[in-house]
Amino acid sequence: MSFERESQLDPNPSRTADPRFLIGGYFLGLVAMSPAPLAYYWLFAPVGALLVAVGSVLLGAVRPRFIDAALGALLAFVFGVVTVVAMLLVLGVSQGR
């Protein structure tokens, strides 16, 4: 089967992300990582954004637009993980002095 045949069957295989759902998922992920419930367990704060992403993926099975919210929540999860690693490095350097 050639590419031309495949492109005739599915003329528009790519889908663009909806920025409203992407930004909404990002902010939901940030709210889920808020320090209020996890003040003493800040190492596990990014798990909240991961839970939002999982919930958005489950909703995305019914409404595909929620997949964009899951991508935004995953972006918030990565932001949280990078923040935790940076804080651990700063604490490690300051304890080494």
The Cα–Cα gap between 76 and 4 comes to 39
The Cα–Cα gap between 20 and 2 comes to 37
**Residue 20 one-letter amino acid:** R
- Is pLDDT at 94 greater than 70 in this prediction? yes
The percentage of the chain sitting over the pLDDT mark of 70, rounded to a whole number, equals 82
For 39-85, the pLDDT digits (tens) are 778 888 899 999 999 999 999 999 988 999 999 999 999 999 999 99
CA contacts within 13 A on the Cβ side of 36: 4
